[in-house]
């Protein structure tokens, strides 16, 4: 029974490791800086993770259909620029809906390119990354864009002492959870991620589902842009830069497979918290600011390594499912 340990290793890599990492980091940072464990600081980490959780949830959906969305960082920037320039003194929910809407349209373009025109997701969204950043810079004339008072209040505000950004992330999670777990959309998404051709043959509406996934991802990226914009109250030309990599790393660190079809819903949350813990901890221990990109890069590399190790174990266990050990079975039978 060599099967059990390997399957167990695969499961530990999939489920347990992210939690172990978060705990380990907390221990390290706490021992290096006494302020790290302060309640205000831990709360700040969670609240600052809100936008990343929202964006990573969308990116995870694209990973689940064996795709990817590299344009989410640019989408965040575009959403912030449009809100900063377009809003006067409207209430914050107008900004929130506008961000969702702009993001959905953006996602629809991605979806059209990928699902209908069959452009590889990597290329299509890479192109959209540049288009989005460029559009944002054009609109803002490369100037810093400021949020109006209503939007900035949203970033600081709370409802029943729950910070609004965090509440928004919570509601987003609930909606995505219902869509992926309680409607046929979820199994459709994962069947496409496993084998799109098979899914089509079985009768899954693959084009519509893939399109839907990118619309969802775009909308959530727009929403993530709104949350982050409301928290910082301004958007420089570098706003949201590299957010796509943080979002992908968050999903993968939490256990989502880069090769599609596998990943739990809480994965982006754990991954986002992990990344934000690292960033916060580095500030707390007064690390050299130029070390941040190095550490972030190492985290992304680690996420990818984890995924490749994980899929190797999964590959082996899946293979065993394909061909059970017939020989030992027949040796056990007495004629």
Phi, psi of 194, rounded to the nearest 5 degrees = -75, -45
Among 140, 191, 231, 279, binds another protein (CB under 8 A): 191
Q: Tell which positions 316-335 bind another protein, by CB under 8 A.
A: 317-318, 321-324, 326-331, 333, 335
In terms of Cα–Cα distance, which of 137, 124, 115, 139 is closest to 71?
A: 124
Assess 204 for contact with another protein (CB under 8 A): yes
Residue among 77 and 313 whose Cβ is closer to another protein? 313
| Coil vs helix vs strand at 146 | strand
Residue among 11 and 25 whose Cβ is closer to another protein? 11
Residue among 64 and 250 whose Cβ is closer to another protein? 64
Alpha helices in the chain (DSSP H): 3-11, 17-32, 39-48, 50-64, 72-86, 92-111, 121-140, 149-156, 164-182, 185-194, 196-202, 206-232, 243-253, 267-284, 291-322, 326-332
Q: Judged by CB under 8 A, how many residues of this single chain contact another protein?
A: 40
Instruction: Output the six-digit token pair for 25.
Output: 């980091």
Residue among 188 and 239 whose Cβ is closer to another protein? 188
Assess 15 for contact with another protein (CB under 8 A): no
Smallest gap from residue 217 Cβ to another protein (A): 20
* Cβ-proximal residues to 253 (8 Å cutoff; 6+ apart), any chain: 18, 21, 267, 270, 271, 274, 275, 299, 302, 303, 306
Instruction: Output the six-digit token pair for 317.
Output: 């266990």
Assess 120 for contact with another protein (CB under 8 A): no
b/e burial code for range 252-282 (CB count within 10 A of at least 16 → b): bbbbbbbebbbbebbbbbbbbbbbbbbbbbb
Among 79, 107, 190, 230, binds another protein (CB under 8 A): 190
Q: Between the CA of residue 211 and those of 106, 113, 119, 178, what are the distances in Å?
A: 12, 9, 12, 18
Assess 174 for contact with another protein (CB under 8 A): no
Candidates 86-94, 101-109, 182-190, 284-292; binding stretch for another protein (CB under 8 A): 182-190
Smallest gap from residue 2 Cβ to another protein (A): 11
Assess 128 for contact with another protein (CB under 8 A): no
Assess 262 for contact with another protein (CB under 8 A): yes
Assess 118 for contact with another protein (CB under 8 A): no
Assess 183 for contact with another protein (CB under 8 A): yes
Assess 4 for contact with another protein (CB under 8 A): yes
Assess 261 for contact with another protein (CB under 8 A): yes
Do 107 and 168 meet the contact criterion of CB atoms below 8 Å apart? no
Assess 39 for contact with another protein (CB under 8 A): no
Smallest gap from residue 26 Cβ to another protein (A): 28
Candidates 193-201, 223-231, 243-251, 301-309; binding stretch for another protein (CB under 8 A): 193-201
Assess 193 for contact with another protein (CB under 8 A): yes
Do 100 and 223 meet the contact criterion of CB atoms below 8 Å apart? yes
Among 101, 157, 205, 237, binds another protein (CB under 8 A): 205
Site for another protein, rule CB under 8 A: 3-4, 7, 11, 178, 182-185, 187-188, 190-191, 193-195, 198-205, 261-262, 317-318, 321-324, 326-331, 333, 335
């Amino acid at each position: 029974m060599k099967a059990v340990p390997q399957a167990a290793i695969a499961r530990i890599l999939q489920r347990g490791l992210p939690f172990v990492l978060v705990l380990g980091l907390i221990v390290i940072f706490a021992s290096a800086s006494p302020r790290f464990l302060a309640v205000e600081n831990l709360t700040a980490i969670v609240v600052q993770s809100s936008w990343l959780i929202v964006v990573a949830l969308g990116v995870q959906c694209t990973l689940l259909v064996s795709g990817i969305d590299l344009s989410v960082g640019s989408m965040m920037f575009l959403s912030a620029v449009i809100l900063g320039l377009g809003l006067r003194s409207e209430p914050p929910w107008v900004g929130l809906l506008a961000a969702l809407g702009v993001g959905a349209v953006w996602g629809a373009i991605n979806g059209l390119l990928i699902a209908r025109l069959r452009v590889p997701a990597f290329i299509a969204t890479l192109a959209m990354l540049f288009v989005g950043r460029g559009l944002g810079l054009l609109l803002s004339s490369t100037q810093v864009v400021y949020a109006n008072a209503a939007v900035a209040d949203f970033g600081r505000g709370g409802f029943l002492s729950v910070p609004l950004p965090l509440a928004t992330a919570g509601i987003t999670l609930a909606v995505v959870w219902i869509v992926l777990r309680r409607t046929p959309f979820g199994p459709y998404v994962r069947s496409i991620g496993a084998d799109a051709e098979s899914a089509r043959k079985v009768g899954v509406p693959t084009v519509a589902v893939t399109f839907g996934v990118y619309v969802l991802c775009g909308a959530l990226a727009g929403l993530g842009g709104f949350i982050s914009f409301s928290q910082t109250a301004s958007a420089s030309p570098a706003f949201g830069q590299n957010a796509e990599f943080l979002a992908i790393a968050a999903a993968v660190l939490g256990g989502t497979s880069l090769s599609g079809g596998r990943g739990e819903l809480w994965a982006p949350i754990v991954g986002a918290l992990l990344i934000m813990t690292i960033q916060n901890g580095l500030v707390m221990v007064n690390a050299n600011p130029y070390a941040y990109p190095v550490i972030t890069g190492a985290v992304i590399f680690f996420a990818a390594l984890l995924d490749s190790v994980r899929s190797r174990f999964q590959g082996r266990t899946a293979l065993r499912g394909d061909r059970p050990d017939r020989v030992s079975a027949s040796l056990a039978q007495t004629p």
